[in-house]
Structure formats: C-alpha cells, structure tokens
Structure 1
Amino acid sequence: MLRTMSNMLINRLNSLMSQRGISANRLSLEATGARDTVRKILDGTTKNPRIDTLLKLAAVLDTTPQYLMGEEEASNGQGEQRSTLREAPPLPTRAAMPLDVPVMGTAAGSHTRGAFQFEGGVVDYVRRPPALTGARDIYALFVEGTSMEPQYHPGDLVYISPHKPPRLGDTVIIECKDGETSPQEATIGVLRRRSEKIVVIAKHNPPAEIEINRDYIKSLHKVLTTNELFGI
C-alpha cells in the first residue's frame, strides 16, 4: 500500500507540475526553500514525505494534500493517516500568497565566508509565506556556494527578518560595512557567540568559525525557520 501511495503521489505531482507549468526545482524552492525536495520524492529517495511538506507542496500547486496522496483510493488501513491530514492546519493557495517579498542580493563567490552582494535594489520578488502576512521589511536571498551544506545548498531560498532578534544557534545574515560606494557584503552562518566587540558564526562545510569585528558589522538579521514561515 505504501508503494501505491508513493506512485500516486509521483503521478499527481508530475501531472500538476505539467498543468501549472512549474518545474520540480521551482516547486521545491517555492514550497520548502530547498531545491531538491520534489526531486527526492520523484526518484524515490523520499518515500514517505512529512505532512508539513505535503501541505506546502499542495499550497503551491493549488490543491490539497489529500488529492496528492490519492486518499480517496486508500484502504481502511490508511484511516489514521487520513485523519492526520484532515487535522493539519490549512494553508492558502499559491495564488493567494502575494508575490511581494524582495530578493535583495545575488550571491558572490566566497565559499569560505558564504558572502552575498547587496546590489542596492531589488533583483527579484518571491511569494510571501502564510505566517509572514503583515510582517514588515521581510526580504530574501538565494544561497550560493557550499559553506553551509548540508543545512543549505546552492540555490536554496532563505527569508530574513530584520525585526526578530536572533538567538545563539539561529542562522543569521550579517551585513558588513564595505565602503561608501561599493556593494554591501553579507555572510550567512550559525550564530555561536557574541560580545561587545565581536560576533562569531559557524560554517558547516568545512567546519569553521568566523570571527567578525563589530566595527565592520552593519546589521545582523535572523534567517527564518520553516515553522516561522508557515506557522506550523
């Protein structure tokens, strides 16, 4: 039965992506912020996606998780899963998510620091996740480089809030002062320590800690988690 449900999910994902004119990569980014979520489902790497993943995919595809899983064809043995799906909090459709979150930068080539370049203006817009309705000054960046793998991969979309205070252990974006006219550089990492003089962030690949003098820091903003984006 698990294989039947998995095949149904794959078939319906392929059908809906074709109907909506959306690629697996784009569906993954808009639904989860990761680039390979759908690919792993389609190639069988992920055989039993989590409920919150199904909710997000369904929202982008303007459908329901019940339809994706072929629930109307499930046997009585799937009753418990059907109940779980019905009780999950509803998400708005993709069309109901405003396309108004600015992407404020493009990635630079620093794999050690994971730097971004703020171009001084908006380079794109992405959809506003449900839990960010009414949130002020939210912006987004696309991750480039491998310094934060496996937490973030190149091309992953991250949403940043300048008003939510980061705590130790949170992923943060640090924007650095880089002269009056040159583009502002920023780096992504996990907040490890901070004092009046320095901020220390961690990278994953390779494992390293980066110490940044506060004199060179323009801003320190929190990268929002999946739960914060979707209110789950």
Structure 2
Amino acid sequence: MTDRNTILIDRIEERLQALSMSDRKASMAAVGKPDMIRDIRRGRQPIGARLSALAGVLETSVEYLQGASDQLGGSQADSSSIRALVPRPQDMLLDIPVYGTALGSESEYGDQADGLVAIEQTDLNTSEVVDRFRRPPNLMNRRDVYGLYVAGDSMEPAYEAGRGILVDPKKPPSSRDYVVVYLRNRDDSDGAAGVLIKRLVRRSGSYIELEQYNPAAVFRLDSRLYREVHRVMPWDEAFGM
C-alpha cells in the first residue's frame, strides 16, 4: 500500500473517531452504499466526486484527507453543499429488484494455459425477488436494471461473496467489463438459470472469452452454450459520478 493510501486511511480514521461515526454510517451518508470506506482500506482509490462527498460527511476537505494540507477545513456550510451532491439514501426509491442467487456446481471449460479448468457457476432465480436496492437518480428511467448478490469467491477481490451488484441488460459490455453470462444448460421456464459472473476479455461471433480470478483462469465459452450477456454496472456509474 502506498504512502498516499496510508495517509488517506489514517485521516479518514481520525475523522471517524472525532465524529464517533462508523465506516458504514459515513459511507452510506456519502454515497448511499456501505462499502466505500472498506474499499479504501483495501487499497481502492475513490474517484473525485465520491471522495468529495466523503470529505463533506467527515466535515473536512479532500486536501486534508489526501495529506495535501494540514488545515482541517470543511466548514458546516461546505459539508452541507458537498453532501447535497449525493442524494440521501432515504430520498431514493427502494425498488430495484434483487434476484435470488446461490453457489452452483462447478463446470469445466477450456483454459488457454492448462486445458480444462473448474469454473464457479451461480444459480440464479429471476422469479424470486429477495431484496430491493435503492434507485440512484441516474437510473430513474432504467426499469430494466436489476440487482444480484455475488455467490462464491471466484471473483475476489473485485467482488466478494455477498456483495451487491447492479446488472444492466441493455448496454453491450466492452472488454474488461464484468458480466453476467446466462447459460443454455438448463430449463429456464421457471425463472431459474445458471450464470457465470466473470470479467469479459473478448467476444466474437462464435465464442466469448472470460476471466476468473480464483482460481485464476481465462477460458472460452462457445456461443452455443450461452444465450445472453448482461453488463455489471459500476455503482459510480449508477450515481452519475
């Protein structure tokens, strides 16, 4: 972890303690999701708008959090204006459906380096709504977007088991996007489907190439074996940041 990350984490921790605020509470107040500070502690750098919102919640400035200034800054008025950039969770509709998922059986696919490799599969039931996510303003007209909870650890550290993701079924995914691939290997009449939650490497008319992190593998899936590929929408995009 770089010195820059260490300073950021230390100063966030300092402000959390001064305000008697938890990681979760500050993250929710800043961006409407509970994992922002946890991700920072793991080395992920937040984009500017999200860090500005967090600085406002912590009643300081981005410069102070990043170590560029030793002046605490962040007046109450400044904090309020920054927080206003991100809607409060209670102001967002709780209506994005989250479909049921469970860890499925492993399937073997051809890996570029080692022949066949075991690939983690997820069981998805689109007829079972298990939760609702709050709808960011950027998605007010996107009633097709849905949510899932990641099952299994094959995509850690990008997506840990139990982490919520948004899925966009309309916008075609690009290389390096995370995707949900719907397989053809089962009857989907009751809403049940086998899916792969992976990273897209490339796609052609005859196959799709995907990456899995644990165990590390890049593998190809013949186009006859899948029916749809939906893009995982980053939360930053959902909030228009």
Q: Does 1:225 align with 2:225?
A: no
1:77 aligns with 2:71: yes
Aligned residues: 210
Does the C-alpha gap of structure 1 residues 180 and 107 become closer, same or farther in structure 2, counting only changes over 3 Å? closer
Runs (4+) of structure 1 moved beyond 6 Å?
80-85
% identical aligned pairs: 29
Deviation at 1:87, TM superposition (A): 6.3
Partner of 1:138: 145
Indicate how the Cα distance of structure 1 residues 83 and 152 shifts in structure 2: closer, same or farther if over 3 A, else same: farther
Q: Aligned partners of 1:116 and 1:55: how far apart in 2? A: 38
Determine whether 1:66 maps to 2:74. Answer: no
Structure 2 gaps, min length 5 = 1-6, 107-118
Q: What 5-or-longer segments of structure 1 have no aligned partner?
A: 18-22, 59-64
- For residues 77 and 55 of structure 1, do their structure 2 counterparts lie closer, same or farther at Cα, with a shift above 3 Å needed? closer
TM-score (norm 2): 0.69
**What is the 5 A alignment of 1:1-232?**
6-12=13-19, 14=21, 27=28, 31-32=32-33, 34=35, 37-38=36-37, 52-53=49-50, 65-69=55-59, 77-79=71-73, 90-110=85-105, 112-177=119-184, 178-181=186-189, 183-232=192-241
Question: CA RMSD for the aligned pairs?
Answer: 4.0
Offset of residue 148 of structure 1: 0.4
Residue 102 of structure 1 aligns to a residue whose secondary structure is strand
Do 2:59 and 2:76's aligned partners in 1 also have CA atoms closer than 8 Å? no
Question: What SS does the corresponding residue of 1:95 show, helix, strand or coil?
Answer: helix
CA apart distance, 1:224: 0.6
- Cα distance change, pair 53–155 in 1 and its aligned pair in 2 (3 A): farther
Q: Please, which moves more after superposition, 158-167 or 122-131?
A: 122-131
Q: How far off its partner does 1:82 sit?
A: 9.8
TM-score under structure 1 normalisation? 0.71
Go from structure 1 to structure 2 and tell me whether the alpha carbon gap of 1:200 and 1:7 turns closer, same or farther (over 3 Å shift): same
The one-letter code of the counterpart of 2:239 is F
* Distance across 2 between alignment mates of 1:6 and 1:110: 41
Question: CA deviation digits over 1:133-188, x for unaligned, max 9?
Answer: 21130001001111101111111111001111111111110111212556211111
CA distance in 1, matches of 2:13, 2:169: 40
C-alpha displacement of 1:7: 2.6
Q: Which has the higher strand share?
A: 2
Query: What secondary structure, in the 3-state scheme, does the structure 2 residue paired with 1:131 have?
Result: helix
Aligned AA (1:69):
E
